[in-house]
Structure 1
């Protein structure tokens, strides 16, 4: 019996991860992250809960479809659980290696490079890699041959008939698999609610040609640092319009170096300059490719926008292009960056003004074509919020209309345990799933209580009562002091003086045993002061008593 469990990526964008098990062998497809909402204070990224993998025993392999963060960002956290290799295409492998090195586990992990049409065997599984087109090179779908039948996992894809690198999607192989018989199809649902077809990467060239022609000063283009195809288009246009190219921002610099090394980004000799040299050239002779298209606070574009970047400054004749779609939730941050750029006098161009971005995900007609080519016995929509999964299921129902036998459509969620055998496919239970919050500065997990404390501090501030107690007698020494941070109140002096009297009363009314037990007296002071502050100010600050024994 084949067991399939999505651990992330269903009902949400990000954290894509799928586990497949036959007998004692488990393989994992992708290990992605999700980026946090603003209310998750101090959280840098979110990864799937790995309890299921720990319970199942160490997976035999981790298989990656491509190099976007929502598919590889959690690899350093998953890799220590995997007893076998990580299979990835060369570019994906090159993007994963620095992550493993940062966590100090690069030498302990076996990375195996694969190419389209390659096959690898992992226990009872034979995994075949099939080229697909997306917004970056080296993306693959998977045909996983199991004893129960073939499972096709599309990864992220669109059908680009004019790819920048000439590497077309292997539509023929999908058709061959469909003719031979596919047990189940797991397909990307991201753009199912967009009618028609997604445009080719080459469609942005015309809009950028207009921008290059009309830009009088420096040209700054912000895009995802993984958008290698977009980089190539802009580099080619820079050469055509005789502008030097500078990569600005850590992600942009690192990924451009990796892409050049692997031959996926071709830059003519003498065209590239360092970001530190940007201001040495005439403004009309420079193109800067920068990170920060989503308004990230410490990204290159955000620092440029507030005139805080070491090497790049904006002037009134400059033009800034946001060559990316706003990820839901980032609109306010992007708006703030645009306002700051406007204060510098520069012109801002985004997707709503000119056609400077195309999606990397297939629209409705492309997803229909995939369903028609593969002709699975069972269809499972993945990669999207629930509304996208439900719409994909409805569309699949129309595509499958009239087929006999009619394929089964399974609308499942994270943690659903899908069993497929000779009797059919069914949800047989629920696996432990969830989210693990990661603080990047510590490369560690953030427990719920830590996040709760951070939210508490942000909303109501901090109050630190400092009380001196005689170590021998337990008597109060001097007047208690109250220190506040981020706690807003009226009649501050009066309130703090009354609070100090409350603290003194608590100590005096406590028994000697209580006064000399730091744990007891601290809790008593915390409870009484919090009750007093709530009654007088209506606020519930974080109260952290400090006892000084004298």
Structure 2
């Protein structure tokens, strides 16, 4: 009898923070866990979002039984509106997760096309059967309600996926992670654990949300002047804490930014956030109050260019400007790669006369991810035969593996795999066997862009070195009809450019004379000559665009 096997691989989320998308595949079925986005680095010019390349799945649409979502953060649900135009499997999640997805699909005009399926409310999650896969759920603490771990029954055994999790012993509005369910899963036997690695480098335990709540309340009471606080729009627990601190300090709150307002509306309608009506006011109403009576809630804690706080810091917001004496709180931890943008925002705020509280100044942020001791607890509760670290850069996966060794797991049973690496699980063994092609799809203008590496490289050259446009007019015999025209932008200062471009014109004329009989290589020769000259003179390599126009010269009648 042929041994049953299951392949597990990631199209995104391993070796990077974001883009989470895990695929289970056997002979009959494909199951997808999460479909997130990655926020681009600053060298991805003109790119708004990055999603996993799902080309592998396009030829196997008929095998896809569904996408199961662990929670509603962008790095786990953000890709849905884009991939739904390519594949359209049933979507499963908790009520808040589906509420956030529903809003995205409505904005994209895809809601009628989607097949949304709720797994039920907390305490009554239903089991899902999708052909050869059966999925059941367990409530876990995270920085957003409706987060779940899941146990997937497969033909080779039980697989547990933690999603993003932490063990908060004193949560505010949500129950503790359901230890009993996790323990029961472990007792019944788990073949493999796919575990969150994000905070595997951090010692001890993650901070409780209750500590953050107390810090905010005390700080708001002691703060004079207007309060501005920025956090993630999806951090529902933090928003509730800010609402509570606003009320206890006798202030009124203004919610600014579309994404913040939309998320709060969805969460409030589902009962996950409670904002008394008399707490909220509009920006117009705030103008009639004293600064010490106001809290402005906004996005921008990561220095995102288009976020409200970033626009306020640059003086580009139409309705909000920094008043000297404002206190600005950044209630989040920097996502890797955002440190520079956050620093620039903080500097601008200070320069405008604001007091800024961020980083380790106060306990303003509790991570939603498990630290080392919590990861150990998860491993000891689940007791898997194999560990497959997920979510994080390679160093995070590595440290997760080291933690597993500390609790007694054999190194041979720990499988560190990157995007595309295929882990083949059998009833008796597991190994990395082969690789599929993976990559990234770029989102620009709310749609999948055809932008590739060549275009991005051109954009980078333009941004860093500028460009020089060379226009040449020749007759049909290859003779120069007029002096070449050279136009530069973003290359060198105008006064310096004049002499430099005059010399460049002479080099173009010289090259034309030398290559007159070899017209097929004319552009290449001009490019090589100018590129070498500009680099020698300026130590820069501008993007060089060469346009050769052949103009027929009419004979006199």
TM-score of the two chains, using structure 2 as the length reference: 0.91
- The match for 1:6 is 10
| CA offset digits 1:315-355 (Å, max 9, x no partner) | 22221111111222222222221122112222111231111
Q: Is the Cα contact below 8 Å between 2:194 and 2:389 reproduced in 1?
A: yes
Q: CA deviation at 1:409?
A: 2.1
| CA offset digits 1:87-138 (Å, max 9, x no partner) | 1212111222333344443322211122353111111001112211100111
- Matches of 2:537 and 2:244 in 1, distance apart? 66
Structure 1 stretch displaced more, 186-195 or 304-313: 304-313
- The match for 2:38 is 34
* Structure 1 residues 323 and 537: alpha-carbon distance in aligned structure 2, compared to 1, 3 A threshold: closer
| SS in structure 1 at match of 2:195 | strand
Match of 2:277 among 269, 278, 283: 269
| SS in structure 1 at match of 2:432 | strand
- The match for 1:450 is 455
- The match for 1:72 is 77
Q: Is the Cα contact below 8 Å between 2:442 and 2:451 reproduced in 1?
A: yes
| SS in structure 1 at match of 2:287 | helix
| SS in structure 1 at match of 2:501 | helix
* Structure 1 residues 475 and 436: alpha-carbon distance in aligned structure 2, compared to 1, 3 A threshold: same
Question: Is the aligned partner of 1:377 residue 2:378?
Answer: no
Q: Is the Cα contact below 8 Å between 2:441 and 2:449 reproduced in 1?
A: no
- The match for 2:482 is 478
Question: Is the aligned partner of 1:280 residue 2:281?
Answer: no
| SS in structure 1 at match of 2:81 | helix
Q: Is the Cα contact below 8 Å between 2:442 and 2:448 reproduced in 1?
A: no
Question: Is the aligned partner of 1:240 residue 2:248?
Answer: yes
- Matches of 2:145 and 2:333 in 1, distance apart? 19
Question: Is the aligned partner of 1:231 residue 2:248?
Answer: no
Question: Is the aligned partner of 1:299 residue 2:304?
Answer: no
Match of 2:101 among 96, 100, 121: 96
Question: Is the aligned partner of 1:112 residue 2:117?
Answer: yes
| CA offset digits 1:237-284 (Å, max 9, x no partner) | 212222111111222122112212222111112211223443332211
Q: Is the Cα contact below 8 Å between 2:141 and 2:165 reproduced in 1?
A: yes
Question: Is the aligned partner of 1:16 residue 2:24?
Answer: no
Can you give the 5+ residue segments of structure 1 that lack an aligned partner in the other structure?
A: none
- Matches of 2:492 and 2:412 in 1, distance apart? 62
| SS in structure 1 at match of 2:84 | helix
Question: Is the aligned partner of 1:309 residue 2:350?
Answer: no
Match of 1:198 among 203, 206, 217: 206
- Matches of 2:513 and 2:268 in 1, distance apart? 73
Q: Is the Cα contact below 8 Å between 1:279 and 1:311 reproduced in 2?
A: no
| CA offset digits 1:52-92 (Å, max 9, x no partner) | 32354452211111111111122223333434301121211
Question: Is the aligned partner of 1:355 residue 2:356?
Answer: no
| CA offset digits 1:497-548 (Å, max 9, x no partner) | 222233334445554894xxxx865445434433443444443211112344
Give the alignment's Cα RMSD to 1 decimal: 2.3
- Matches of 2:526 and 2:107 in 1, distance apart? 44
- Matches of 1:193 and 1:211 in 2, distance apart? 30
Q: CA deviation at 1:37?
A: 1.7
Question: Is the aligned partner of 1:334 residue 2:342?
Answer: yes
| SS in structure 2 at match of 1:182 | coil
| SS in structure 2 at match of 1:7 | strand
Question: Is the aligned partner of 1:529 residue 2:530?
Answer: yes
- The match for 1:141 is 149
- Matches of 2:496 and 2:189 in 1, distance apart? 77
Question: Is the aligned partner of 1:215 residue 2:223?
Answer: yes
Q: CA deviation at 1:202?
A: 1.4
Can you give the 5+ residue segments of structure 2 that lack an aligned partner in the other structure?
A: 552-557
Q: CA deviation at 1:210?
A: 2.2
Match of 2:129 among 117, 121, 141: 121
Question: Is the aligned partner of 1:153 residue 2:154?
Answer: no
- The match for 1:54 is 58
Question: Is the aligned partner of 1:321 residue 2:322?
Answer: no
Q: CA deviation at 1:474?
A: 4.8
- Matches of 1:35 and 1:281 in 2, distance apart? 37
- Matches of 1:213 and 1:536 in 2, distance apart? 60
Q: CA deviation at 1:141?
A: 0.9
* Structure 1 residues 305 and 279: alpha-carbon distance in aligned structure 2, compared to 1, 3 A threshold: farther
Q: CA deviation at 1:288?
A: 0.8
Structure 1 stretch displaced more, 405-414 or 481-490: 405-414
* Structure 1 residues 257 and 276: alpha-carbon distance in aligned structure 2, compared to 1, 3 A threshold: farther
Structure 1 stretch displaced more, 527-536 or 257-266: 527-536
